[in-house]
Structure 1
Amino acid sequence: MKSSVWANALVAGIFVGTACGRPLINKRAFVTEVVYVTQEVAGVAVYVDEDGTPYSTSTIAQVSSIPSVAVPATSAISQPTSGIASALPIASSPAVPAPPAASSPALPPSSLPVPSPVPTSGQAVEPTASVAAEPATSTPAVEQPATTPPPPPSPVNPPPPPPATPSPPGTSEDPNEITGLGITYDPYTGGKGSSSCKSADQIAKEFDGMKGYAAVRIYGMDCNLVPLAVQNVVKNKQKLMAGAYLSHQGNGEDLSKVIQALKSAVDQYAGSNWDVITLFSVENERVNEHDMTVSEVVDAINQARGQLRGVGYYGPVGAVETVPAMVGNPAICKAADVAMVNSHAFFDPNTQASDAGTFVKGQVEQVRKACGYKRVVVTESGWPHQGNSNGKAVASPANQEAALKSLRDNFNSDLYLFNAFDSPWKSDSASTFNAEPYWGIM
């Protein structure tokens, strides 16, 4: 009995051992291969039937290069799940595309993940995360609504431009800077053959009488006039047309001394600001009087300009001539920064006082044409109140008034009325119709 029991037990043990040492089902999971594919494809929608089997695809939108998702293939049969995203072929399907571009902004190339190299057989496969696309899950993909872009920022007004840097004093180089009407002045008193200098007080008083004019013209440095003139025009907020009286007749001035006197006066009374000087002339009608040659005048202009630039004056430099002398010798105005001429309608026998302004305006056009259309400044123009007649030009107080009105009607700048006061020290002659001392306006 015992033998039979032991025999049965032995048979049972052998059977159990055999069953435990061999599996009942000869089925093993295996990984065949993992493939990473990067391909530029369009967005694709995959349609599946109720069993999860794909039967149709369609293109949604063009998508730039997107890293693909690795899908491991196994021998297990895919089971359908609820949702579209899980119903994709396992072994032979292409990589799952990213959502359409409309649902999220495309990443710049530098932010896209770089796919891992294809592993060889026998290597362990680690799942890799991707920010561009995720593996299919059982949850259907939901397209995110496009977010409304924020409103553009309010326009920012540009900052105001920085204030213009003021130019240093006396550095204006524009020869076309306009000055209003001026008046001429000389510092002499006395009768014929007995002229003398006016006192500083008298000069100051007469400058006060001329303060209604924008500028005052002086002819040289005699009677200490340069510092007195600068001092008084600064006080009266006027400009000064300065000049040197060059001549070969024994009363000519030294150009360098005149410029040095002018610099000292500007330094002392104008704070070294050369803006107080509006023009500088090297001579007055010397070519017309056959006292200087054209080449001498041109040389003087160039010399004066160089010296004046050296002391800080950058305004116009030139020479004053009559209209016929300037038109006949355009080298003078071509060497100058502006053309400067004396023009008196009284010396034209066909012009009456009321037409003085029209006559002078026509003379200016002739000079402009001869001088290459340079700026022209009339440095003297007036009418005598006493003297002999010259055809239609009659000297009288009434005609002087009419002539001055005509000049003002035709010019509001770039003209100097001649002269502030009578000059009884001057000599009369037939050529000047015995009117030379009687041009004073005031």
Structure 2
Amino acid sequence: MQLPLLPSHAVASVFLVLLSTATQTYAGNYFHGVTAANSAPNSGAYRCRTQGEWNDLAHTAKSNGFSSIRVLGFDCNALEFASSAAAGAGINVLAGIFFSGSVAGSSGQIDNEVQAFRAAVGKYGVGRYDGLTIGNEATDNPGAIASKVSSVKGYLRSVGINTPVSTVHTWVAVRDNPQAFCSGDFVGANAHAFFDQNVVGSQAGSFVYNTVVPSLRKACPNKPIMVTESGWPSRGASMGRAAASSGEQYAAMKSLNCAAKNDKSVVIYAFEADDQTWKGNDNERSFGLFGKVKFEGGINNAC
């Protein structure tokens, strides 16, 4: 059955209202969702997360107050596994198509994965998906990325799927390339206070909501904003004033959660569900939250 087609501004407005409401579903947690890698946690090599591990992640996310999981790519059958897990837990998915290199060189892969997304919508329902992103910090020309986002959006609309479509890049890239990265149904930006090097963990919320968000609003007026990654590492080298430790990680997540409470117009995803020890350095390996950062009875009660 086809869905009624809505103009782009209406899709964006409905998207923002629905996600802002969903963010408040679980008392005390003002993050909308959590980003999850397709690899199993604490694995020295990249190992695909199983259906059972996705199920555990989805239930852990819900019990900690999150209402969505962000999937970074469709490898490892992640779209199907995450969608099934989310449906079982009663939460949603922000689906992300990942590609490396150029849009032109990855066009066939992207198109195939758009078809996989269409099939998933048919199976799990359009309401299961908070959005679809094409690329995560992709290195191709911004204009080429924007053009692909537009073509994917046009195709999905033509088959009756009104899921909001955009891309994701660093907040600095979005700020500096508004003609390209503000053209989707929403603005998707990764924003980690840690890498700014001038803030401590307790200032992470202020950095995102008082520095990053105003910059995005200026670059992309009247566009819904989704901060698709924001977190803090628990190990590794310091970045200027920013220290990587479990205490600073907790302070950062508490600060982000409380800042999100005060600005519900912005959708924010915590980064990331669990440690990914296959990554290249201790900072990148240690952004994991579950089993390390206490949300229920901790962060969720802090503000």
Contact 1:220–1:258 under 8 Å retained in 2: no
In structure 1, the partner of 2:90 is: 237
Q: What aligned pairs does 1:43-62 form with structure 2 within 5 A after superposition? A: none
List per-residue Cα deviations over 1:171-190 (Å, max 9, x = no partner).
78234234221100112137
1:168 is displaced (CA, Å) by 5.1
Question: What does residue range 299-310 of structure 1 map to in structure 2 within 5 Å?
Answer: 299-310=147-158
Aligned to 2:110: 255
Q: Is the 8 A contact 1:418 1:439 kept in 2?
A: yes
- Shift, 1:402, TM fit: 0.6
Question: Does residue 58 of structure 2 align to residue 207 of structure 1?
Answer: yes
Which one of 232, 235, 242 corresponds to residue 386 of structure 1?
235
Correspondence for 2:220 among 371, 378, 403: 371
Are 1:274 and 1:312, in contact at CA under 8 Å, matched by a contact in 2? Answer: no
- Is 1:176 aligned to residue 28 of structure 2? no
Q: Corresponding residue for 1:427?
A: 280
Structure-1 separation of matches of 2:149 and 2:15: 15
Tell me the equivalent position of 1:346: 194
- Give the structure, 1 or 2, with the largest relative contact order (CA under 8 Å, sep 6 or more): 2
Structure 1 gaps, min length 5: 1-166, 429-433
Deviation string for 1:374-414 (max 9, x for gaps)? 22110000011111111221111111111000000011450
Q: Residues 402 and 177 (structure 1 numbering): CA distance in 2 closer, same or farther, change over 3 Å?
A: same
Size of the alignment, in residue pairs?
263
- Show the counterpart of 1:398: 247
Q: Which of 314, 317, 323 is matched with 2:171 structurally?
A: 323
For structure 2, the residue ranges without an aligned partner over 5 or more in a row are 24-31, 291-303
CA distance in 2: counterparts of 1:416 and 1:369, whole angstroms: 21
Note the 1:3-402 alignment, pairs <5 A: 173=11, 174-179=14-19, 180=23, 181-189=32-40, 191=43, 194-211=45-62, 212-248=65-101, 254-268=109-123, 270=124, 273-286=125-138, 291-361=139-209, 362-402=211-251
Which amino acid in 1 is paired with 2:120? A
Q: Which shifted more, 246-255 or 401-410?
A: 246-255
Q: Which is greater in Rg?
A: 1
SS, match of residue 372 in structure 1? coil
Amino acid at match of 1:320: V
With the length of structure 1 as denominator, give the TM-score of the two structures.
0.56
Q: Is the 8 A contact 2:171 2:189 kept in 1?
A: yes
Q: Distance in 1 between matches of 2:270 and 2:5?
A: 26
Cα pair 1:383 1:399 within 8 Å, conserved: yes
Which contiguous aligned blocks of 4+ residues in structure 1 show a shift greater than 6 angstroms? 169-172
Q: Distance in 1 between matches of 2:5 and 2:248?
A: 40
Mapped contact 2:192–2:229 kept (Cα < 8 A): yes
1:169-209 CA-partner distances (Å, limit 9, x unpaired): 897823423422110011213755x3221222122222221
- Structure 2 CA distance for partners of 1:334 and 1:391, relative to 1, 3 Å: closer
CA distance in 1: counterparts of 2:141 and 2:102, whole angstroms = 13
- RMSD over equivalenced CA pairs, Å: 2.3
The alignment-based identity, stated in percent, is: 30
Worse-superposed segment, 349-358 or 311-320: 311-320
Give the corresponding residue for 1:417: 270
